[in-house]
Structure 1
Amino acid sequence: MLHLTDLRGRAPSTSELRRVLPRGGVDINAVLPTVSPIVEDVRERGAAAALEYGEKFDRVRPATVVVPAERLRDALCDLEPRVREALEAAIARIRAVHAAQKPSANTVELGPGATVTEKFIPVSRVGLYVPGGKAVYPSSVLMNVIPAQEAGASTMVVCTPPQEEFGGWPHPTTLAACALLGVTEVWAVGGAQAVALMAYGDDEYGLEPVDMVTGPGNVFVAAAKRLVNGVVGIDAEAGPSEIAVLADASADATLIAYDLISQAEHDENAASVLITPSAELARAVDGEVERLAGETLNAERASSALGGKQSGIVLVDDLEAAIAVTDAYASEHTEVHTANAREVAERLTNAGAIFVGPFSPVPLGDYAAGSNHVLPTSGTARFSAGLSTHTFLKPVNLIEYDEAALRDIGPHIVVLAEDEQLPAHGEAIKARGI
């Protein structure tokens, strides 16, 4: 079922690895001509346009954009007790991790009377997108809302698609998750139009625009985020889910197969990749994937993803090569199944999140490890990080010098200004009697 890429006996360059490793992703550029008019229309006409596009694409139109408070209360009251208990357990762990991420201000004294203080200011208003297409994602509510809350965002809005089967309102479990976290502003809008509406707002409907949009979504959501980037901040242009499993001969083929399938059930474009120096393990995993993929509820979707060009097995010569290939692949999720898993995991430098050993599977991180599941995809883990409390904080420097401190460094500033042929910079220093 899984395609094989055999790199044994070779030492491929980084450039070659980027060409030959299994990689799916989506072509955002291809949908920009479709999405751009939607974003522009919502910018001009606001909520009216957003509702029209929702009705056109999803055949559903909510009674109002803003979900009434009683809908949130009812969703929480009607939530199945065991689901509420599971959400509350996840909330506690996610909040503990994200609360610990918040940095403290720090001051550097560069000399008498010369200080630079770095402080961290939360983004004032954030828009959090929660998808609702092929599945319901209350977990994404938790992963977006909690870090924003721990950063200290003043206000937030959760945007999530209305559902025809729930009377034109978002999925009740999503609403219940919002209520559990104390979110009072939820907009029943999905897709590219939701991103545009969060970016531009609508005064007539009383919809205040946000300063930053975060959260996963399909290619149309990603394209809209690209188009509004600059009007608002964004976290990333999320692609399909990815898992890379780095494993040696000591690994359990059945556990790896289950983990590969778990990510493949997200959608047909999801990527599941095994990187190993063990041909025997590779054969065993492929056989287990073939056996187990058809048993899952989402068998058709998972099988399509596992058989696609974005998924496969990469055979390498040894563990060193496996580490190098895993770093080159830079997966959203990387699992390490080796005899010395923690040591190997510490050596990896490119991954959205690293799951160490057989009892730390990716689904743990998807729900309740405490870490965030909104992570960089399509190889962007080489240079970017997942959603965290840091995402919603702006580091700002406070520069404070007294007269003596400026007099000490001032002549050097004048010299540098003259060398750059920006004499007014130097004059601004000398005007202070320096």
Structure 2
Amino acid sequence: MNKECIRRLNAADTDFDDRLNQLLAWESVADQQVEATVADILQQVRTRGDAAVIEYTNRFDRRTMQSAADFTLSAADLSAALERIPAAERAALEAAAARVRDYHQHQRQESWQYREADGTVLGQQITPMERVGIYVPGGKASYPSSVLMNAIPAKVAGVDTVTMVVPAPDGQLNDLVLAAAAIAGVDQLYTIGGAQAVAALAYGTASVARVDKIVGPGNIFVAAAKRAVFGQVAIDMIAGPSEILVICDGDTAPDWIAMDLLSQAEHDQQAQAILLSPDAGFLNAVSVSLEKLLAELPRREIAAQSLAERGVLIQVGSIEEAIALSNRIAPEHLEVSVAEPERYLAQIRHAGAIFLGRHTAEALGDYCAGPNHVLPTSGTARFSSPLGVYDFQKRSSIIHCSPAGADHLGRVAATLARGEGLDAHARSAEYRVVDDQS
């Protein structure tokens, strides 16, 4: 019998914790040479603007651009792509967009205020960002779903201008990506990528207006650039490889679970697929299914490397133990493929997206279920959330003191300010205090 294509662990083994930690370890952007290259690109674009963007894009994407007009697409270009794609693909994009838009409408936050007894008004004003930049991979990795997931929440939030950048290696563009941009309501589109595109969005050029936030996935150079410009602009996250963790009681079809694992393993060699089950026989069956189904995949070499290097089937003592282990891992995608999955939902603390029940494949969330597929990875679900409308809205505090409120708060503030040695603070507050000392 051939060696299994994926390793096996048992949570009861004495060395389990060490082996699991080694398996989960992943460093994000830490390559000094990459960071040095990116720093130079950012500086060149910051000082030379469009000229540097054109120079780097011609070099890295094998283009022959002469001016910004060569990397700018119009609304008519996007509409033309929408007309060119097959009717079935257009219908699928529109159906997915409608579901994503409907889901995110529920996330809108509204301004609020309340009035205290003395007439002082406190509250919070919610306003959308003015400009947001969306990075979408191009070339071999063309993801129209990423366009929908990044642009639609921004538009639902009320962002004034959504600017999209997408590289076009050798001048090639994907019509599905352009059509998705048309459907999602992208306002501006530039066919540039890499660190130079991130720099143009962050600093602005003569042709590309500076944005307030940059979102969307990219390669290691894009990730390094996003990290470097954070502070100049906001960013969504530094995403790691895709992950799926499946908890199964052993009663779901092994082929279903195996293909769910493969759906993430085929992303790239560093993607991670994990299955937890108390049923050893089921783990055996899934291992057999993986070998069988892997041979059928066009991207089998990528998926096979992912499974061999980062995948694992883990036997646990119970579903409750599986959930506790999942909370420790904090996966990007969590499938709970068990009977009555709702009974376990309250126990789940850390996961980017939770897929309940035997019929809920993670792949549905990638495309058309409605919730966002931009999710925290590498354990960051412990403190991070999916991309959403709230990422494109800002909150401003509102304070409107009545005379009585200013009198009361001024006395409190002055006392605290003098305790901190800040006399001007104290006197500023006291100017609004009623002078009742005699």
Per the TM alignment, residue 29 of structure 1 is displaced from its structure 2 partner at its CA by 4.4
Contact 1:23–1:271, Cα closer than 8 Å, also in 2: no
CA drift at 1:353: 0.6
**Partner Cα separation in structure 2 for residue 278 and residue 266 of structure 1:** 28
Question: Does structure 1 conserve the Cα–Cα contact (< 8 Å) formed by 2:132 and 2:212?
Answer: yes
Q: CA deviation at 1:397?
A: 0.9
CA deviation string 1:370-417 (max 9, x = no partner): 110111111111101111000000111111111111112322212211
**1:228 corresponding residue in structure 2:** 229
Query: Does 1:183 pair with 2:186?
Result: yes
Which stretch of the first structure deviates more once superposed, 410-419 or 66-75?
Answer: 66-75
Counterpart Cα distance in 1 of 2:328 and 2:430: 52
2:166 pairs with 1:132? no
Q: Which residue of 2 aligns with 1:194?
A: 197
SS of the aligned residue for 2:336 comes to strand
Matches within 5 A, 1:29-108: 29-30=31-32, 31-61=34-64, 64-108=70-114
Q: Is 2:149 aligned against 1:148?
A: no
Distance 1:115 1:17 in 2: 56
- SS at 1:378 equivalent: coil
The aligned amino acid for 1:373 is H
Structure 2 residue identity aligned to 1:8: A
Aligned AA (1:34): T
User: What corresponds to 1:279 in structure 2?
Assistant: 280
SS in structure 2 of the partner of residue 140 of structure 1: helix
Q: 1:18 to 1:406 in 2, by over 3 A?
A: farther
Match in the other structure for 1:357: 357
The alpha carbon displacement at 1:249 in A equals: 2.4
Shift of 1:172: 1.5
Task: Tell me how far apart the structure 1 counterparts of residues 231 and 24 of structure 2 sit (CA, whole Å).
Answer: 32
Indicate the residue corresponding to 1:257 in structure 2. Answer: 258
Aligned length: 426
Indicate the SS of the match to 1:42: helix
* C-alpha contact (below 8 Å) 1:106/1:118 kept by paired residues: yes
**1:369-380 residue pairs with structure 2 within 5 A?**
369-380=369-380
Name which of structure 1's ranges 37-46 and 145-154 shifts more when overlaid on structure 2: 37-46
Q: Do the aligned residues in 2 keep the contact of 1:67 with 1:169 (CA within 8 Å)?
A: no
Structure 1 residues 317 and 58, CA, compared in 2 at 3 Å: closer, same or farther? same
Other-structure match for 1:22: 24
> What residue number does 2:332 align with?
332
Displacement of 1:58 in angstroms is 2.8
For the structure 1 residues 384 and 156, does the alpha-carbon distance in structure 2 shift closer, same or farther, using more than 3 Å as the test? same
Q: Displacement, 1:183?
A: 2.1
3-state secondary structure, aligned to 1:307? helix
Local SS of the residue matching 1:258: helix
SS at match of 1:272: strand
Structure-1 separation of matches of 2:64 and 2:356: 45
**Which residue is 1:238 aligned to?**
239
Question: What residue is the counterpart of 1:6 in the other structure?
Answer: 10
CA distance in 2, matches of 1:161, 1:186: 11
**Aligned partners of 1:422, 1:195: CA distance in 2, in Å?**
42
Q: Shift of the alpha carbon at 1:424?
A: 1.9
Please state how far the C-alpha of 1:25 moved relative to its aligned partner.
5.2
Superposed CA offset, 1:194-250 (max 9, x none) = 1111111212xx221111000111221111100000010001011111111112222
TM-score (norm 1): 0.93
User: Which piece of structure 1 moves more, 178-187 or 359-368?
Assistant: 178-187
Q: Is the 8 A contact 2:97 2:183 kept in 1?
A: no
- Specify the alignment match of 1:211 in structure 2: 212
Question: What's the secondary structure of 2:351's corresponding residue?
Answer: coil
For the residues of structure 1 that align with 2:409 and 2:117, how far apart are their CA atoms? 10
Q: Is the 8 A contact 1:21 1:329 kept in 2?
A: no
**Whole-angstrom CA distance in 2 between matches of 1:143 and 1:255:** 26
Once residues 60 and 77 of structure 2 are traced to their aligned partners in structure 1, the CA distance between those partners, rounded to angstroms, is: 24
- TM-score, normalised with respect to structure 2: 0.92
Which residue of the partner structure matches residue 160 of structure 1?
166
Task: Give the aligned partner of residue 289 of structure 2.
Answer: 288
Counterpart Cα distance in 1 of 2:54 and 2:285: 50
Any conservation in 1 of the 2:28–2:238 contact (CA below 8 Å)? no
1:16-71 per-residue CA deviation (whole Å, 9 max, x = no partner) reads: 68724534454444432232212222212222222322232232345612123442
Residue 172 (1) aligns with residue 175 (2): yes
Note the aligned Cα RMSD (angstroms). Answer: 1.9
Q: String of CA shifts for 1:134-165, please: whole Å, max 9, x gaps.
A: 3321111100110000000011111111132x
Letter of the structure 2 residue corresponding to residue 125 of structure 1: R
Q: Is the 8 A contact 2:406 2:432 kept in 1?
A: no
CA distance in 1, matches of 2:376, 2:139: 20
User: Quick one: distance in 2 between partners of 1:105 and 1:116?
Assistant: 11
Q: 1:346 is matched with which residue?
A: 346
Q: Deviations over 1:284-331 (max 9, x none)?
A: 1111111101211211111121111x2212222222221111011111
In 2, the alpha carbon distance for the partners of 1:12 and 1:2 equals 16
Does the CA contact (< 8 Å) of 1:127 and 1:198 recur in 2? yes
Give the whole-Å Cα distance in 1 for the aligned partners of 2:400 and 2:306.
56
For 1:85, the aligned partner's letter is: A
| Cα distance, 1:50–1:125 mapped onto 2, change above 3 Å | same
Question: Alignment partner of 2:140: what SS?
Answer: coil
Structure 2: tracts of 5 or more residues without a match? none
Given the superposition, is the C-alpha separation of residues 419 and 29 from structure 1 closer, same or farther in structure 2, using an over 3 Å criterion?
farther
